[in-house]
Amino acid sequence: MNNAKDIRDANYSFKIISGNENDLFPISGELYIKKEKYFIDTEEIDQIYDGYKLYTIIHENQEIIATSDSNTFFNFTPKQVFNFFKDDFEIEIEESQDVHYNLIARDLIQDDLFYKIIIDSNLLSIKKIEIKNRDNQIISSFLTLSYKFNLSLPSSLFKFDKNKFNNYILIEDFR
């Protein structure tokens, strides 16, 4: 968790797979992180968090939802993932024969699901997260395809530019 908090500029290529039939999954894309700001780039949905506002861009509907809420469609920056597991979870380390740490996070509230978090022991980075049911069947998984750290990412990557989305409807929800 401390390593995730220290990540400043990073790029992750990822893929999310779901066992349920869903029009959105599988989905793959790129995640860029610069301190607390991030940009998630997929064909279907993009998200830009500029440190103050969150912009969710839904390409199929040509909609942009601007909010100050921390509720996001994607919650998987390393910091968000570890913060998610801080409360209401019991975490144990599972024995592993390779270069990964396997953490099992059991939800203390919803006990029919658990998470298997696979962490690269060299870089201390999340490699894969699987959501499983009681029968140990994978319901969905997040897979890191590649990752790079200590990059020099341009600040413009984390700024929303309405001019790039002229035909999109902007919905602002600031509560």
Q: Which domain holds residue 72?
A: 2-173
| pLDDT tens digits, one per residue of 56-78 | 999 999 999 999 866 565 666 76
Query: Which pTM does this prediction carry?
Result: 0.82
Per the CB < 8 A criterion, the answer to whether 1 and 126 are in contact is no
Dist CA 158 CA 34 (whole Å): 8
The first and second tokens of residue 146, run together, are 């590649």
Tell me how many domains the chain contains: 1
Give which of 39, 63, 59, 70 is closest to 174, Cα–Cα: 70
| pLDDT tens digits, one per residue of 79-136 | 777 778 888 899 998 877 778 889 899 988 888 889 999 988 877 788 899 999 889 8
- Looking at every residue in the chain, the average pLDDT score rounds to 86
DSSP state of 52: S
Tell whether the model's pLDDT for residue 54 goes beyond 80.
yes
Residue-level pLDDT at 53: 92
CATH number, position 134: 2.50.20.10
Residue-level pLDDT at 88: 84
